[in-house]
Amino acid sequence: MSALLDIAGLTVALADGATLVEDLSLAVARGETVGLVGESGSGKTMTAHAVLGLFPAPGIAVTRGHIRLEGTDLATLPPAARRGVRGRRIGMVFQDPSSYLDPLLTAGRHIGEAFRAHGVTDRLPARVAAALASVDLPASAAARFPHELSGGQRQRVLIAAALALDPALLIADEPTTALDVTVQAGILDLLRRAARARGLGVLLITHDLGVVAETCDRVAVMYAGRIVEQNDVRALFAAPRHPYTQGLLASVLDPGRDAPPFAMPGGVPAAHAMPRGCRFHPRCPLALPDPCAAAVPPFAGGLACWRADAARAGAWAAA
């Protein structure tokens, strides 16, 4: 089966050549939910923006690679055709529903905007009501302004607008990060149900491993613009292979454990200060001067690590 979304060798760079995403390959099948995880600054959001063809600041561009949606390479589409894909074939949900809704427009106008942008202008009130119903909101919510809605309701409005035209792919960028824990579960459940009911492919971007475990079929772990490990969600949680993945999983709070969670030393390097070789090697307990600091590890068998064998026993055991 051909993938719904097929990203191959994607590189996103700033105008001065510094790369935010490098040589990223990732596929999402119909009906599949793929998690893209990593710390802040790892390039997850840039990957999402590259798929949409919208960057939040000028000077950022896709410099290499393909982004195929149902076989069409989005990166080579002219701007007008690209706009036709946004909202119609790809829906996007953002992190903070408060700032991603126009404060002066009603919920209904936001959803109506999605229809109107793609030339659907008949029976709009009924369509808006149906879109609201699909996210468990009453039709009366259409007349509400964002400040009259709760955080969870706002996110539901954004999801309704993103799914209004029945896209094939939904990109959700940290959809629950800005919400209360009690509301998070409801939103995740909604996304799961929508994906199942519509056969939607979902690219879920998050730093929250709990969200990944609950929602995803497959996970790709990103570090400093590159994917370092990719696996089935159960396999990844059961047996993380990359030292970075192992560190991430060890830093999750575990109420059953007395000791404080593990904290990986260091942080993600800035786009202008990427280390040579494996980008993780300055933080890696197993790193060797050669090859780790000298050459980029190839991505093979779902893993990009020179020290895969040594890591099998747990990279951080001594730490």
Contact residues for another protein, defined by CB under 8 A: 52, 54, 56, 83-88, 91-92, 94, 96, 99-105, 109, 113-114, 116-118, 145, 147-148, 158, 161-162
Query: What amino acid occupies position 184?
Result: Q
Name the residue nearer to another protein (CB basis): 35 or 97.
97
> Minimum CB separation from another protein for residue 150, in Å?
15
Residue 285 Cβ, how far from another protein at the closest point, in Å? 38
Q: Least distance (Å) from another protein to the CB of residue 223?
A: 25
Tell me how far, at minimum, the Cβ of 294 lies from another protein, in Å. Answer: 40
Residue identified by tokens 């879109």 is 131
Name the residue nearer to another protein (CB basis): 145 or 299. Answer: 145
| Cβ 158 to another protein shortest distance, Å | 7
* Closest CB to another protein among residues 114, 168: 114
Minimum CB–partner distance for residue 54 and another protein (Å)? 5
* Beta carbon nearer to another protein, 145 or 237: 145
| Nearest to another protein of 204, 303 (CB atom) | 204
In whole angstroms, the minimum distance from the beta carbon of 90 to another protein comes to: 8
d(CA 89, CA 22): 25
Measured from the CB atom, the residue of 56 and 265 that comes closer to another protein is: 56
Closer Cβ to another protein, 96 or 214, answer by number: 96
Reduce the secondary structure of the chain to three states and give it as a string: CCCCEEEEEEEEECCCCCEEEEEEEEEECCCCEEEEECCCCCCHHHHHHHHHCCCCCCCCEEEEEEEEECCEEHHHCCHHHHHHHECCCEEEECCCCCCCCCCCCCHHHHHHHHHHHCCCCCCHHHHHHHHHHHCCCCHHHHHCCHHHCCHHHHHHHHHHHHHCCCCCEEEEECCCCCCCHHHHHHHHHHHHHHHHHHCCEEEEEECCHHHHHHHCCEEEEEECCEEEEEEEHHHHHHCCCCHHHHHHHHCCCCCCCCCCCCCCCCCCCCHHHCCCCCCCHHHCCCCCCCCCCCCCCCCECCECCCCHHHHCCCCCCCC
Report the distance separating Cα 4 and Cα 74, nearest Å.
12
Distance CA 273, CA 296 (A): 15
Nearer to another protein, 170 or 211 (CB): 170
| Least Cβ distance, residue 314 to another protein (angstroms) | 40
